[in-house]
Amino acid sequence: MRKRLFGVLTAGVALALVAGGQSAAEPVATPVQPDPMLAFLPAEAQVDWAAVQRGREVRKQNRAQTRSAAKSASQPLSYTEKETGLGANDAPSKAEHVAGFGTGRGKNPKLTITGGLAGDPATPVAQPFAETNDAIPLASAVSTPLKTSGRIGDGPHGSTGSGAHTGDHDFYKLSGGATGKTVVVTTDTPSGDLDTLLVTFDANGLLLGNNDNLAGTTDSRLVVGVPANQDIYLLVTSAGPGGIPSDPMKPGTGKQVLTEGAYDITFAETQPDKDYFSVDLKAGDVLGASAAGKATRVVIHDPAGREVFGSSQDFSFLYADNSPLPAGGNAVADFVAPKDGRYTVGAENGDGRYDITVEAYRPGSELNPRPEVLTVFLDFNGARVNTRVYSNEPTAGNKDLSPLKKFLPGWGLTDADENKVIDGVVATVRENIEKDLAAKGTNKRFGVRILNSRDHADPWGQPNVSRVVVGGSIAESGIQTVGIAQSIDAGNFGKEETALVLLDILSAPSAQTGTSLNRYITPASDKVTFIGRAIGNIVAHEAGHMSGSWHTDQFNALDAIMDQGGNPKGMFGVGPDAIGGTADDVDVDFHEDVLNPNEGFTGLEDTLNRTAWGYTKGSN
């Protein structure tokens, strides 16, 4: 393992999330790449992973500086694991209880747990697989668990090969078998210059996930979910502009890579030791946990023993700038408790000593000195937005976005229809946020105001006001997306943020993009009702990010507000007849749903209560 080389970031050529045609109704010059975890991307969006990683690196540095400046001098509660052998605390039901932790009177809201994991000494070791394995059809089949080694640069496309020196790519095939499996893949580069990058693809070459650098190193780790009776293809390559081939189905389609060298790789299907610790939480407590040392996964279970958040990565840089939740280490998780109870925090996937940082806070708005409520302002009039809150790319900055009215002709509507469309958007957002969360959530101090630019004076710039700008285009904003939020903010500590819902793709001709509302409009449609509801769902989705919810699985049977982009039919609420604005349309809501499996998290996410507790009245 070597220290991280600053400035060498995850690479990527533009890869399609879902195959398709032109993604915008008007030409765009070098749009800023939105982070997919903050954005509701059109199905045809091209992801420039190098740009994404540049943005993530800047956000990491900014958040580290903010957290360091705001770090409390109070000493955390300290706890040392009591387990002396395997089995004592290896399940949530056997968790070691940590007394004295919490947000209540006399409790310490900060905790450091020290423990150790016993690795699996029985993992078989195999000789390196033979070249050529530079594409999915040539992938080397791997049985798990397994340890082996390889080299980037020794194949026909490496620097010493007989090919065009387009970069060596080592592909491995992981099979799910009859029941499916989860495989933790880790690289180690004890010597040489290689900076590894791990990427997963499905059998058709669709990119599913990637990992560049573990904390402080140039090694990589990726948790790969392999469905039953399916194969997933893992690529080991070099980080840099040539790392990801333009066509993973064909060898020799990369560019010359930046680094080459030997690597060791471990495919670990299970870990024999898992350590769990229980803590008492109050309803609404915002819990953050990070794992450092030899533990590479942190997981949270609810009082029923269900996994509600599992993570082998640190995406805390997507939190609001002033979020107090912990960051750093190998893995970070966050959670909002829907009810009082005893929850567990676990350390998994490792061999050796670890530290877990656990912290609990009350929701950000609950700390307001008066019983005021947060405001979400829907701006349909066009607005000036500083897009540097989404990206630090050179083209980001103040952008003027056109109003909703400009996009009505794209749906065959006129100015006379504007009020009805606004009515539909506002009614949908109020139903999803004001009404549903009050009626179904556990937050008895829930409170939020949904205001809009047609009916209310613009409150933007005042305390406790966030906004969603409904209007503008990719060309105007420079951001290739349909919707994007400023942060994913468990506890809603960033109470003055901006989200965008751009309308050019949504109003484009149906032949140009499957994300256009026109794709689902026929003479049988109640057009205005459908357009208002679909836009309202996307507005609620972006507000859900700003109040703390991550993406959920967009391809399972449940259509939910926090589903990731790529399934517009589900987000728009189109029913079985595949026509929008008819009697069988679906009411899409906040739900408890599976975290998006392609974004590296596991577990069930209660997006309804995460959002409900993000809107808490201030204390008296």
Q: What percent of the chain has pLDDT over 90?
A: 65
**Selection from 176, 41, 7 nearest residue 506 by Cα:** 41
Q: What is the pLDDT of residue 69?
A: 58
Average confidence (pLDDT) over 362-366: 91
Least reliable range by pLDDT among 52-66, 111-125, 452-466: 52-66
Two structure tokens written together for 212:
């560049």
Cis peptide before 132 (omega within 30 of 0): yes
User: How do residues 534-581 score in pLDDT, each as one tens digit?
Assistant: 999 999 999 999 999 999 999 899 999 999 988 999 999 999 999 999
Average confidence (pLDDT) over 110-122: 87
Strand partners for 309: 300
C-alpha R_g of the chain = 24
User: How do residues 434-452 score in pLDDT, each as one tens digit?
Assistant: 999 999 999 999 999 999 9
Q: What is the pLDDT of residue 368?
A: 80
pLDDT exceeds 80 at position 266: yes
C-alpha to C-alpha distance for 390 and 32, rounded to whole angstroms? 9
Least reliable range by pLDDT among 18-32, 266-280, 595-609: 18-32
Q: What is the pLDDT of residue 30?
A: 64
Q: What is the pLDDT of residue 407?
A: 98
Element of type H or E holding 569: helix 568-572
User: How do residues 29-84 score in pLDDT, each as one tens digit?
Assistant: 567 888 989 999 886 666 777 778 778 888 888 777 766 655 555 799 999 999 87
Q: What percent of the chain has pLDDT over 70?
A: 90
The more confident residue out of 64 and 390 is 390
- State the virtual CA torsion across 447, 450, 456, 461 in degrees, nearest 10: 80
Q: What is the pLDDT of residue 538?
A: 98
Element of type H or E holding 419: helix 418-429
Contact 541, 483 (CB under 8 A): yes
Measure Cα distances from 397 to 384, 386, 394, 591 in Å. 10, 5, 8, 35
C-alpha to C-alpha distance for 443 and 614, rounded to whole angstroms? 9
Least reliable range by pLDDT among 314-328, 332-346, 518-532: 314-328
- At which residue do the structure tokens 């809150």 appear? 389
Average confidence (pLDDT) over 250-257: 82
What predicted TM-score, i.e. pTM, was given to this entire model? 0.81
Helix, strand or coil, per DSSP, at residue 308: strand
User: Please, what's the largest Cα pairwise distance for the chain?
Assistant: 74
pLDDT exceeds 60 at position 584: yes
Q: What is the pLDDT of residue 22?
A: 30
pLDDT exceeds 90 at position 167: no
pLDDT band at 164 (very low <50, low <70, confident <90, very high): low
Element of type H or E holding 327: none
Contact 353, 372 (CB under 8 A): no
Average confidence (pLDDT) over 482-498: 96
Torsions phi, psi of 104, nearest 5? -75, 170
Contact 414, 584 (CB under 8 A): no
**DSSP character string of 427-492:** HHHIIIIIIHHHHHSS-TTB-EEEEETTTS---TTSTTEEEEEE---HHHH-B-SSEE-S---TT-
Neighbours of 398 (CB within 10 A): 9
pLDDT exceeds 60 at position 27: no
Q: What is the pLDDT of residue 53?
A: 77
Torsions phi, psi of 570, nearest 5? -70, -45
Highest average pLDDT, of 8-12, 70-74, 244-248, comes from 244-248
Ramachandran assignment for 531, one of left (phi > 0), alpha (psi -120 to 50 degrees), beta (any other): alpha
Q: What is the pLDDT of residue 209?
A: 81
Q: What share of the chain is helix, strand, coil (3-state, %, to 5)?
A: 20, 30, 50
The more confident residue out of 370 and 489 is 489
- At which residue do the structure tokens 């209540």 appear? 104
pLDDT exceeds 50 at position 9: no
Give the orientation angle of helix 418-429 with respect to helix 527-546, to 10 degrees.
Answer: 40
Average confidence (pLDDT) over 589-613: 93
pLDDT exceeds 60 at position 7: no
Two structure tokens written together for 82:
């009591």
Q: What is the mean pLDDT of the chain?
A: 88
C-alpha to C-alpha distance for 392 and 370, rounded to whole angstroms? 36
C-alpha to C-alpha distance for 310 and 333, rounded to whole angstroms? 7
Antiparallel, parallel or unpaired: β 110-117 and 352-361: antiparallel
Q: What is the pLDDT of residue 72?
A: 56
- State the virtual CA torsion across 452, 453, 459, 463 in degrees, nearest 10: 40
What's the distance, CA 49 to chain centroid? 14
Torsions phi, psi of 148, nearest 5? -150, -170
Least reliable range by pLDDT among 30-44, 92-106, 189-203, 601-615: 30-44
